A and B are shown apart, each in its own frame.
Chain A
């Protein structure tokens, strides 16, 4: 017999997907928009559930009837998804008013959210995989919201191919795990694997490949850069637990992945490649939404890198931080012109040569090293610090380049560099050190090395593009980057050979039907 508060919590939690589902089947009327009400109710229930869990369980994981698992990640994600969804649906109500398909749009948004929240709350591997599959299917509906747009159909088709392949891999991994170790329960599967690390690694590798496909890693990222063929709120919704679900599932399964070294190395390698490529391409994009989409791809890569390095809490923090930031950025993407006029008000910072870039990066590395040592970080005990230190130094370098230019900008640049260092150190201290992995077996240096080398390459490329934009290397690099390195083109060609998209080519113009003799003049 469950104690009453726990039972109440279970009902509260399960009410969240139920409310979305109820909203989806309710017909809107002139004065009543079920989508916005459902989203607000769900956000309220989400907060209540998370609060209730915190008060009753004092931060320890609880398993509730219906294999509902409430723990830190689940509650964080629940609050994130429901509150972001409330903001997005509230926005959509005005934004899409007058669109004849609004009811259809709201319905598919709500079904998506119902399946996302089901996944978030569930502790059963097969429920998770099924809810994930349903999320992908709903996303297809949202991407083809304007079915008369051929490019939308191609993007959705790509997402369909990639997503279903990912689902297949994930189902294979979960079914394999369930049958081989005898449990589908997320809180038990990790412990059950303790005796067979080889098997755990093999199945985790399948899972990780599936996750890479579903989190838009290169070269299967193409559909994400074309999501702007659907209304703006869909792009924002991706960040409310659609494209970033992969990271969340990995976090939930972290006990399983602790010993899965091959799988985690794959995560780090694919994630680093995606983060570096995505970051470089995003700064060459001339349109606001494409730039944001490429940045999302990069951030998803970074999320997987953190998972691969075993920094699970940081990965969760990143999901929250990025979702808030990017959800806001997409909804506010219409402000790009105002942002441009604001930028135009302050004179452009003078250009810096390679020498200044080299000096600034040396200073950045030195600063991060010294400050880190003073703070008490010891990379010899935790090798992931090599990776995180490099990432921070790469991030601060442009600020130091700006500070070196002098003028009014120097003060804010140094101040901001200090603030960023402080905040990130604090996060690491709070979230990075509580990792069980660091205590049991230190991370292999190789994984941290991949990240450090990848980000160092990113810094070099960035410096070349900024310091010598007319140089031969920069020109070649910019040319390839502006085509996204043709990764998507290559991938699409191969994928479409297997499964071509629905014919979207419009009919020939009437004059040519005359020419072909198919229509009498």
Chain B
């Protein structure tokens, strides 16, 4: 624990709470990188970030200009944005603004910046870059989770380890010409608390500016700060705390202090002058962006116009008594498949629900002892699931051990030479088979040590959950998806996962609600649970009558190939075989339809159905493929409504669809749940894509061709150093010619009474913040048709 006075502590804590966590690459779920700012209005957050870190949370003016000229943004959208915003400009002035250059953000100067001005041609690197690179290299080694074979010594804390290394580091002297470095470090306290306590005073930071200054220091190493925030997030889920982010702040502050001291007698006065310009930088940032935000809002209202028009068109009629319910994840990639499936037959009705199917589990794959969370990152696993098969378990353990031995020989310092000479030629064959897609360069959790046949055998089951609890889970699950009556013969629960290889960000394409894993396990467990006769009895006691002829079936939607696999057909009752057979046919047809729809965006247009299927399958196995699929790119809206409101409408894969029937939710607890959990998940995805698009340098991870995985799974560097990169790679957002994602804040349309929605806002601060501070646009289906928006506490058309 770091010992500091309460005032300094609260400054440091407030600064660190601004940093949102980043999940590691093996469970790379989407995070809103600005989550720590949700209690402030978006334009003011953007102004602060512009001033404190030089970021710009808007597209360049040329982008809005293109949208305006092409008619995508219409005058009515601009007027609507003007009416809502606080800009005093006229329409003509705003249009004229588009022809001007996008202003470059002009951030506050820190000590490093003052030292870099004017640039010193004798130094091969600016201090600003050197400091980030040095801290980042240190953090990579200290946080390493298993890339290096020599484990890091973490016993005395991040700051002390940094201090000890810095006191022996010849790098600053040799590379930057700072010969006094080691002596300066030794004069510095080796205790992070003391650095925080005295550093701000030593640098003469005014009390009112300390939080801003501390935040800007953390934003300078935003990637690593986000990793610290992740550690803290996980610790807090566990009821503990991990304040390592404060130590990171101490390291960055120590750098400022050391450079300040090293810079010679004239420096303090220069520094004071720089500090005096901070307020001006803040004002400039606010002034420069205010009008651009009107354009951003106009772009969002342009989409809202389309969406509202679409929702006003007549929908296809929903079947009264569907024989098959198919439940998909709310993920936008389900939208197209659902639409395509419903076109096949009126006998199927589809629903949307969070793809972890309400099971807060951690999962232990067969033959291992790891526990992998398979639930949204906001929640803690409360149940354990495992796959059991004694024979497979032993075989797998053996193979994994043999594999580990091989890796041990390959990776040991002194063994590499003999390894290469003895076994290197084998990799020529491997190069060929990997290139042809017959093998993959690596296997991962679900494949390693298992044959295809064995993979199918280890069937997951819930471990040690009492009957009562299982009955409660099942009831909550059905109520959550508003499927409480009218059961047909089959209910298909479809999870989703992606398939790509040699892709560090692969888990980001998997199910976010399953913590960056495929939804297979959750879907199979949920189906199992709901088929259990004991559970069915409990459901009946809870007022949910599931007829005996209803069978729950699980499946997986592969979002890369758009194929659906069905599971556990070996336990399917015989009298359901024909239903499943029909369903399989419809699913295959639906897959082909949606593949064809998506093919243009993948550059595979104009192929026959079979050729296209083979092409996407090959793509999924191609180790050079940096765009296996487009993931959730271009999502823009979140609909909480029954399918009857939307059946037959083509949302173009841009909408999250959550099933909700308010008439079946008398006390609105389900609505409350949807708006506090799935909505937040969707908002995280939305802002991740938004921020990665508008400022890929700070909130995206750059070029995949340069990615260099850090610490085994922590994240990536772009190239050989610089800050840890968070967010999405450029290749997930841009096809080389244009942005595939349009950065728009999420539109949320709810089908529920006004009061019910407002009550949730009153009760739930988080949702209220998102709405009031314009992180999302909230609207609802008005009582007599059309859509009404919630603005400044009022419902307006």
- Partner of A98 from B107, B113, B414, B736 at Cβ < 8 Å: B736
Q: Which of B109, B169, B503, B625 has the most CB of A within 10 A?
A: B109
Chain B CB within 8 A of A314 CB: yes
Q: Which of A397, A490, A508 has the most CB of B within 10 A?
A: A508
Interface string of B384-417 (1 = CB under 8 A from A): 0000000000000110111111111101111111
Chain B residues whose CB sits within 8 angstroms of the CB of A419 once the complex forms? 422
Interface string of A147-172 (1 = CB under 8 A from B): 00111101000000000000000000
B412 and A462 form a contact (CB under 8 A): yes
Q: In the assembly, what is the distance between CA of A415 and CA of B435, in Å?
A: 30
Chain A residues whose CB sits within 8 angstroms of the CB of B398 once the complex forms? 408
Chain B CB within 8 A of A66 CB: no
A511 and B281 form a contact (CB under 8 A): yes
B737 and A98 form a contact (CB under 8 A): yes
Number of interface residues of B (CB under 8 A): 133
Chain A residues whose CB sits within 8 angstroms of the CB of B407 once the complex forms? 339, 343
Chain A residues whose CB sits within 8 angstroms of the CB of B735 once the complex forms? 98
Stretch from A123-131, A178-186, A257-265, A319-327 contacting the other chain: A319-327
Chain B residues whose CB sits within 8 angstroms of the CB of A478 once the complex forms? 150, 153
Given A423-B422, A483-B170, is A469 in contact with B151 using a C-beta cutoff of 8 Å? yes
Name which residue of chain B comes closest to A327, CB basis. Answer: B431
Chain B CB within 8 A of A371 CB: no
B414 and A334 form a contact (CB under 8 A): no
Chain A CB within 8 A of B690 CB: no
B54 and A509 form a contact (CB under 8 A): yes
A91 and B435 form a contact (CB under 8 A): yes
Q: In the assembly, what is the distance between CA of A321 and CA of B277, in Å?
A: 60
For residue A151, give the distance in angstroms from its CB to the closest CB of chain B. 6
Chain A CB within 8 A of B145 CB: yes
A-B interface pairs (CB < 8 A), number: 406
Chain B residues whose CB sits within 8 angstroms of the CB of A42 once the complex forms? none
For residue B507, give the distance in angstroms from its CB to the closest CB of chain A. 8
Stretch from A20-28, A53-61, A276-284, A441-449 contacting the other chain: A276-284
Name which residue of chain B comes closest to A408, CB basis. Answer: B401
Given A291-B147, A334-B502, A458-B414, is A150 in contact with B445 using a C-beta cutoff of 8 Å? no
Interface string of B440-471 (1 = CB under 8 A from A): 11111100110000000000000000000000
- Partner of B442 from A317, A339, A513 at Cβ < 8 Å: A339
A335 and B146 form a contact (CB under 8 A): no
Stretch from B61-69, B202-210, B489-497, B700-708 contacting the other chain: B700-708
Given A332-B434, A394-B415, is A337 in contact with B425 using a C-beta cutoff of 8 Å? no
Chain B residues whose CB sits within 8 angstroms of the CB of A513 once the complex forms? 117
Chain A CB within 8 A of B575 CB: no
Chain A residues whose CB sits within 8 angstroms of the CB of B405 once the complex forms? 399, 402, 409, 412-413, 416
For residue B71, give the distance in angstroms from its CB to the closest CB of chain A. 27
Q: Which of A91, A284, A512 has the most CB of B within 10 A?
A: A512
Given A287-B140, A398-B409, A512-B117, is A150 in contact with B420 using a C-beta cutoff of 8 Å? no
Q: In the assembly, what is the distance between CA of A481 and CA of B150, in Å?
A: 11
Q: Which residues of chain B from 89 to 132 have a CB within 8 Å of any chain A CB?
A: 104, 106-109, 113-114, 116-126, 128-129
For residue B728, give the distance in angstroms from its CB to the closest CB of chain A. 15
Q: Footprint of A on B, CB under 8 Å?
A: 25-26, 54, 104, 106-109, 113-114, 116-126, 128-129, 133, 140-141, 143-153, 155, 164-165, 168-171, 174-175, 270, 273-274, 277, 280-281, 365, 367-370, 397-398, 400-409, 411-428, 430-432, 434-435, 440-445, 448-449, 501-504, 506-507, 622-627, 703-713, 717, 719-722, 731, 734-737
- 25 of the cross-chain contacts (CB-CB < 8 Å) are A90-B435, A94-B625, A98-B731, A98-B736, A146-B703, A146-B706, A286-B140, A289-B709, A290-B720, A320-B424, A337-B26, A339-B407, A340-B712, A341-B445, A345-B445, A391-B418, A402-B405, A412-B405, A423-B423, A462-B413, A483-B169, A503-B119, A505-B119, A507-B119, A515-B109
For the complex with contacts A283-B412, A291-B147, A321-B425, 11 further pairs of A-B residues with Cβ separation under 8 Å are A150-B129, A282-B413, A284-B141, A286-B140, A321-B427, A327-B427, A333-B709, A336-B709, A402-B408, A483-B170, A490-B174
